Structure 1
């Protein structure tokens, strides 16, 4: 079996010392230089240097670099070297860890997913560690690096909203590290993903409103930039109009809601409320809304009520809604199958860890749940 990428770097430096190209006191190439030389991530090169330091082959000095010790004096590998490597590898094999990185989770979406992942991970006799990034790119980067340093065998991940993909995630993909993206996919990037057919789901919601006789239908969403889930929902909304031969008014598309994003503060909510008030005043005849997220739908209903408009004149449909305190379904909505999504995501990841080919993308069926009041 081909050695792990960090092991290739590890053995390369050992050979450099044994062959006399590196001697006691010489400075070893940096994490950055090794990553570029071997075409791997800095996480991988760092792990190789840490392994060398753990076995006493090099000494790492903060701010200065890594230096060869006298462990391989005379070009002879120390007697305890192989034993230490075996112990280290055995220790890693015993730590059957899987990581799950997610921006946020809540009752309307994410909590059932997390529970399903926990159960399925345990069924495979793996331990699950979870990190919530709150939509912060640097926190996502730190989470990836932490999990890899802890020796996770694979990674489940819901990338944050954003214009650019996280470079640390892309490096892991290039290193063929076992990864499954959950509720997302990366356009043009060959990485295993599992998600709802958000385009079809949004089309279903929009057609539901059209079939009720609505012709003026707005679409509300956080910025969809490079977030496939939101991009597909907007596309599904527009395709419904094309399918029915209806004109689409782009003035009815609002994509700047930020109060529901994990890192949002109170000013974002105030901005969104003013945005909705302005839209409702400018477009009084728009009575139907396709909303990409439940919390945006809730905010819309609150603003309509606060303005004194009769709520029963409006029809709001969304994704991943919750029932009210009486158990009534307040919005017609798309219900994603979080349980299946979580279970299959773990199945796909374990298959990768075991070296089995898995499909690059899996789509989970959805259901439309109609309101009950």
Structure 2
């Protein structure tokens, strides 16, 4: 796994562990913390531990880890989660990211928003973010929504500090200043981007969360803004079924999309 948090991953991890245990397996969990070398190191550790199968959330990036590719080519049981490895025949389970963002755009449209901006961290090489971007633009066309310039914030690698970084706050403030008076909604690809916009809004009095609606994918349980919650329980069930099928010798070359759940504004 890259990383888990209360926003996404904890329920998924717990459910996979419980379901595997019910099937007679024990799960060993390791984290890459977004590092490619660390990812390779942990995969090697797991293989030395004589695992029978691998569930992997690959690191962000343009290139795939050669160690993962080697395992797939050798026929070792592998299930990829959260991302799609384009051009590689490997079972994967992930959220229907395109539909998740389209649902958010529809929700904002129903609330009267007609001029939207799209905010994301760097998208290059990250299939989940690419799919969310595609969903945004498809929905904008479908609902005749005016699209404002995009805002790209820095991907935050700090797994302990959940507050917004100063660089991202400044970028968000500059963006809000640029689109002032022209925008009534912002769609964020991830919850981690929201704090930067909220803090920037406070500093420059941009009314984000009031005159400007903001929404995202995932978030903590007490999140009050509209967001799409990934269905971690259903994802976990499908992940375990795909993995155990491979361990038992059955073919499992499937790419499974799981619908996210809309959580409306509280």
Q: What range describes the TM-score normalised by the shorter chain of this pair?
A: over 0.9
Corresponding residue to 2:45 among 134, 146, 158: 146
Give the structure 2 partner of residue 123 of structure 1.
22
Q: CA deviation at 1:263?
A: 6.8
SS in 2 for 1:131: coil
Give the structure 2 partner of residue 337 of structure 1.
231
1-structure distance, mates of 2:217, 2:258: 15
Give the structure 2 partner of residue 185 of structure 1.
84
1:121-161 CA distances to partner (integer Å, 9 max, x unpaired)?
10111111111111011100111111112111000011111
SS in 1 for 2:165: helix
2-structure distance, mates of 1:172, 1:148: 10
1:276-303 CA distances to partner (integer Å, 9 max, x unpaired)?
0111111112231101111211321122
The ranges of structure 1 where at least 4 consecutive aligned residues each deviate by more than 4 angstroms after the TM superposition are 262-266
2-structure distance, mates of 1:262, 1:192: 30
Which deviates further from its counterpart, 303-312 or 149-158? 303-312
1:238-272 CA distances to partner (integer Å, 9 max, x unpaired)?
101122244534x2x1234322x357999x92221
Q: Is the 8 A contact 2:100 2:132 kept in 1?
A: yes
Give the structure 2 partner of residue 319 of structure 1.
217
Give the structure 1 partner of residue 205 of structure 2.
308
Relative to structure 1, the CA distance from residue 278 to residue 331 in structure 2 (aligned partners, 3 Å threshold; closer, same or farther) is: same
Q: Is the 8 A contact 1:157 1:181 kept in 2?
A: yes
1:195-224 CA distances to partner (integer Å, 9 max, x unpaired)?
111001111111221232222211111111
Matched, 1:201 2:95: no
Q: CA deviation at 1:359?
A: 4.3
2-structure distance, mates of 1:265, 1:127: 31
The structure in which a higher percent of residues are helix is: 1
2-structure distance, mates of 1:140, 1:248: 38
Q: Following superposition of structure 1 onto structure 2, how do residues 215-226 of structure 1 map, counting pairs within 5 Å?
A: 215-226=114-125
Relative to structure 1, the CA distance from residue 277 to residue 264 in structure 2 (aligned partners, 3 Å threshold; closer, same or farther) is: farther
Matched, 1:297 2:222: no
Give the structure 2 partner of residue 95 of structure 1.
none
Give the structure 2 partner of residue 44 of structure 1.
none
TM-score of the pair, normalised by structure 1: 0.67
1-structure distance, mates of 2:113, 2:168: 24
Q: CA deviation at 1:344?
A: 1.5
Gaps of 5+ in 1: 1-101
Give the structure 2 partner of residue 35 of structure 1.
none
Give the structure 2 partner of residue 227 of structure 1.
126
SS in 1 for 2:42: helix
SS in 2 for 1:219: strand
Relative to structure 1, the CA distance from residue 349 to residue 106 in structure 2 (aligned partners, 3 Å threshold; closer, same or farther) is: same
Q: CA deviation at 1:182?
A: 1.1
Gaps of 5+ in 2: none
Q: Is the 8 A contact 2:173 2:197 kept in 1?
A: no
Give the structure 2 partner of residue 32 of structure 1.
none
Q: Following superposition of structure 1 onto structure 2, how do residues 1-373 of structure 1 map, counting pairs within 5 Å?
A: 102-249=1-148, 251=149, 253-259=150-156, 261-262=157-158, 269-285=165-181, 286-310=183-207, 311-324=209-222, 329-372=223-266
1-structure distance, mates of 2:66, 2:158: 21
Relative to structure 1, the CA distance from residue 118 to residue 203 in structure 2 (aligned partners, 3 Å threshold; closer, same or farther) is: same
TM-score of the pair, normalised by structure 2: 0.93
Q: Is the 8 A contact 1:221 1:293 kept in 2?
A: yes
Q: Which has the greater radius of gyration?
A: 1
SS in 1 for 2:20: helix
